[in-house]
Amino acid sequence: MHDDRDDNNAVSRSVPDGTSAARLAERGLRYALVDTASDAVLDAWLQADRRGFHAPAPPADSMPRRRDAIRGLRLIGVWDDAAPAGARPDVPIATTVSWPNELTVPGGALPMYAISSVTVAPTHSGRGIARAMVEGELRAASSAGFAIAGLTVSESTLYGRYGFGPAAMAAEITIETGRARWTGPEGPGTVVFVDINEAPALFGAVHERARLLSPGDVSTRGDFWASLTGADEPDAESTRARRFVVYREPDGEPTGAAMYHLTKHPDVFSKHTLEVGCLTAASDAAAGALWRYLLSVPLVQTVKAPLRPVDDPVRWLIGDFRAAAVTVVDHHWLRILDVPRALESRTYAVPGRLELVVRDALGFAAGRFSMIVDDAGRAVVARLADAPERDAGADASPGEHMELDAQALASLYLGGVSADVLARAGRLGPRSRGAVETVDRMFRTARAPWLSTWY
């Protein structure tokens, strides 16, 4: 089936946002799409991007691969053509990149506009550059037909102003192995080591199955797993320290994979820390077997696993609940651009009726909407002016109503943040008496939303 978003996304890669270009031109700055046909221009953009995240300069022999990995994406740069003598005018002073992705939602998936690498050089902060770039990407996403955009953030204070809300949290789990006696079931398969050359394909295949089980997770780009595992730089010191294991079912099918490395204790050789770089599993048996393996590696006192789901069952698989310390942080931030399409793309736990009034300073999600969920959990959402008249013989109850902003709607969307919490925090507007309970019953999910990667 032909998807018009394919055509629209091709257009978005070749058309800069006029509003952002004009806004930054007033400040003497040039906002433009990056010429991805030029190696020199790509190298300058990559330099600015790495500078923004304080990353070291990459090895020269890795540049062809790095260029190829981003050529098909929408790359934005901002240049100061009036830079003083000694500055490099070819290196942008701000960057961002975006591409089409797929977001897992309760009961299905929908296309998502992924945004990343939002950087502004500290020499040019406070000039509205980040605002121009992010709002420009949201306009590009909307014009390309995307109902939702997403990003992962290095600072949680930055993106609420653009209507993004934290929708999926992540947990860092730290476990004392000496107290973590395994009490869970023993899976029927086996855990085996794999070579780094095998790892990208195996991890990618497992993740593609696993990510469909978790609302909030996303598909990954072609170069992602080679980069994460280090297979693209096999001689790097950090890569050589990594180990890779795969859980195979009795028939040999891989359904789980984990990557880790050890950080040595400075004094005691039996008290190292095992740091999990990735644990992806398409079944509970695979996840349990990999956890059991990681907790049993010799000479390890502590296992640290970041980016885990907040409802990871590992604490219920060990004998001492308090052997595991859990820290929860915001991780996946979403931005609703098309309310009816976004809400109709997921399923709901119970039937019900809602009237939502969404406030949105940028206009994308603003409006009054009727939402009717049937017994199968499917929603029909329409702007109130376009909503069909109720059948005179049908239940005439108008349902509950709630007013909220775009950020709150984004946080509620996957079911990981409750309306009750937002109401107690004063983040919801006027509403009917039963609206909070109705929203929470409808939007809840059995599994907490989780994004298993960064992007």
Task: Confirm whether residue 187 is marked as ligand binding.
Answer: no
* Dist CA 405 CA 427 (whole Å): 8
Report the 10 Å Cβ neighbour count for 284: 15
Sheet strand arrangement including 379-383: 379-383, 367-373, 352-359, 400-405
Span 329-367, pLDDT tens digits = 999 999 999 999 999 999 999 999 999 999 999 999 999
Beta bridge partners of 286: none
Instruction: Judge whether 155 is annotated as a binding position.
Output: yes
* pLDDT at 87 (0 to 100): 82
Per-residue model confidence (pLDDT) at position 14 = 57
pLDDT tens digits for range 146-194: 999 999 999 999 999 999 999 999 999 999 999 999 999 999 999 999 9
pLDDT at 393: 37
Residue 438 is labelled as binding a ligand:
no
Task: Round to whole Å and give the CA distance between 318 and 247.
Answer: 19
DSSP code, position 17:
-
Is residue 128 marked as binding? yes
* pTM as predicted: 0.93
Torsions phi, psi for 92 (to 5 deg)? -65, 150
pLDDT of res. 15: 74
Residue 78 bridge partners (DSSP): 31, 94
Q: Which two tokens stand for residue 250?
A: 């009795």
Q: Mean pLDDT of all residues in the chain?
A: 94
Q: What percent of the chain has pLDDT over 90?
A: 91
Beta bridge partners of 121: none
Tell me if 70 is assigned to a ligand binding site: no
**Entry field: residues in the chain:** 455
The DSSP secondary-structure symbol of 230 reads: T
Cα distances from 398 to residues 377, 379, 418, in angstroms, run: 18, 15, 22
434, pLDDT greater than 90: yes
For residue 416, say whether it is annotated as part of any ligand binding site.
no
**Residue whose tokens read 């070749």:** 14
Q: What are phi and psi of 351, to 5 degrees?
A: -70, 160
Q: Contacts by 223-229 with C-beta closer than 8 Å and gap 24+?
A: 223/65, 223/68, 223/69, 224/453, 224/455, 225/199, 225/200, 225/201, 226/200, 227/69, 228/203, 228/259, 228/277, 228/278, 228/453, 229/196, 229/199, 229/200, 229/203, 229/259, 229/278
Rounded Cα–Cα distance for residues 112 and 138 (Å): 11
Q: Are 236 and 230 in contact, with CB atoms under 8 Å apart?
A: yes
User: Average pLDDT of 438-447?
Assistant: 98
| pLDDT tens-digit series, residues 21-33 | 999 999 999 999 9
- The CA distances from residue 351 to 339, 398, 403, in Å, are 18, 13, 20
Distance CA 180, CA 163 (A): 42
**83 falls in which pLDDT band (50, 70, 90)?**
confident
Give tens-digit pLDDT for 363-395.
999 999 999 999 999 999 999 985 555 443 334
- What is the topology classification, in CATH, of domain 339-443? Nonspecific Lipid-transfer Protein; Chain A (3.30.1050)
> Whole-angstrom Cα distance, residue 120 to residue 4?
33
Cα–Cα distance measured from residue 312 to residue 182, given in angstroms and rounded to the nearest whole number:
15
DSSP state letter for 258: E
Flag whether 88 is marked binding: no
Q: Any alpha helices (H) in 95-184, and if so which ranges? A: 129-143
417 annotated to a ligand binding site = no
| Nearest CA among 265, 264, 230, 227 for reference residue 244 | 230
Q: Where are the domains of the chain?
A: 4-146, 171-330, 339-443
Pick the CATH number of 4-146 from 3.40.50.150, 3.40.50.300, 3.40.630.30, 1.10.10.10: 3.40.630.30
* Cβ contacts of 324 within 8 Å, gap of 6 or more: 173, 174, 175, 180, 314, 315, 318
Q: Is 145 annotated as a binding residue?
A: no
Residue 357 counted as an annotated binding residue: no
Report pLDDT for 390: 43
Q: What tens digit of pLDDT does each residue of 240-295 get?
A: 999 999 999 999 999 999 999 999 999 999 999 999 999 999 999 999 999 999 99
| Cα–Cα distance measured from residue 116 to residue 411, given in angstroms and rounded to the nearest whole number | 19
Architecture per CATH, 171-330: 3-Layer(aba) Sandwich (3.40)
Give helix then strand counts, H and E, for the chain.
Answer: 13, 16
pLDDT of amino acid 399: 85
Q: Do the two domains 4-146 and 339-443 of this chain adopt the same fold?
A: no
Q: Cα separation of 360 and 160, whole Å?
A: 11
Catalytic residue annotation: 159, 455
What's the average model confidence in pLDDT over 2-16? 55
Question: Has residue 10 got a pLDDT over 70?
Answer: no
Distances (CA, A) of 102 to 62, 234, 264, 431: 28, 29, 38, 33
Beta partners for residue 81, in sequence order: none
Could you tell me the two tokens for 257?
């994979």
Count of CB atoms situated within 10 Å of the CB of 152: 19
Annotated binding residue at 129?
A: yes
Check if the beta carbon of residue 67 is closer than 8 Å to that of residue 39: yes
Q: What is the DSSP letter of 187?
A: P
